[in-house]
C-alpha cells in the first residue's frame, strides 16, 4: 500500500498539535521545525516512492539538502533523545498498522543507531589522522 506524503504530514502535524500550514511554513522555531523534521524522516521511511526533492516540494518548497539534513538530524537525535524516539516510533506504528512491514520499527532503530555509530567512527578517524599529521 502506497502512503501519500500529505497523509504523513497531516498525521505528524496532528500528533504535535499543529496544522499542515504550520508544518510547511517558513517558521524556524524548534516547536515547528522539529515536527517538520520528523515528517521528513517518517516520509523517507514509509514513502519510499518520494525522493528528497519531492518531499521538499511537499513541505513548502524546501531544497533537497534541507530534507537530507532534517532526516539526518532526526536519526542522530533518536539515539540520544528517548522522548523523540518514542514519538517517532508512535508515528511509525500508526503507519505500520496501515500495511507496513512488521519489523519496520526494529529496522528504524537499528538504522538510526548504525548511522550514528558510523558518524562517530568517522569523527574519531578524522581526529586520529589530524593527530598523526601534527
Q: Where are the domains of the chain?
A: 5-133
Residue 105: half-sphere exposure toward Cβ, Cα within 13 Å: 15
Full pLDDT tens readout for the chain, 134 residues: 678 889 999 999 999 999 999 999 998 999 999 999 999 999 998 888 889 999 999 999 999 999 999 999 999 999 999 999 999 999 998 987 875 444 455 566 677 778 888 888 999 999 989 888 87
CATH number of 5-133: 1.10.1750.10
Backbone angles phi, psi at 12, to 5 degrees: -65, -45
State how far the Cα of 63 lies from the Cα of 78, in Å rounded to an integer. Answer: 23
Q: Is 81 exposed, middle or buried (0-12, 13-18, 19+ CB in 10 A)?
A: middle
Q: Cα(134)–Cα(131) distance, rounded to whole angstroms? A: 5
Gap between the Cα atoms of 110 and 65, Å rounded? 23
Q: Cα(36)–Cα(7) distance, rounded to whole angstroms?
A: 13
Name the pTM for this structure.
Answer: 0.72
- How far apart CA 118 and CA 124 sit, in angstroms, is 10
Other residues' Cβ atoms within 10 Å of the Cβ of residue 69:
14
Amino acid at each position: 500500500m502506497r502512503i501519500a506524503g500529505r497523509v504523513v504530514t497531516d498525521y505528524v502535524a496532528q500528533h504535535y498539535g499543529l496544522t499542515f500550514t504550520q508544518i510547511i511554513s517558513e517558521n524556524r522555531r524548534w516547536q515547528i521545525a522539529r515536527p517538520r523534521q520528523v515528517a521528513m524522516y517518517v516520509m523517507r521511511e514509509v514513502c519510499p516512492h518520494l525522493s528528497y526533492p519531492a518531499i521538499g516540494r511537499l513541505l513548502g518548497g524546501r531544497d533537497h539538502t534541507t530534507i537530507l539534513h532534517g532526516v539526518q538530524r532526526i536519526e542522530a537525535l533518536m539515539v540520544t533523545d528517548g522522548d523523540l524516539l518514542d514519538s517517532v516510533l508512535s508515528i511509525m506504528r500508526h503507519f505500520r498498522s496501515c500495511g507496513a512491514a512488521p519489523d519496520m520499527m526494529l529496522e528504524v532503530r537499528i538504522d538510526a543507531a548504525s548511522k550514528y555509530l558510523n558518524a562517530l567512527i568517522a569523527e574519531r578517524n578524522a581526529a586520529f589522522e589530524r593527530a598523526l599529521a601534527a
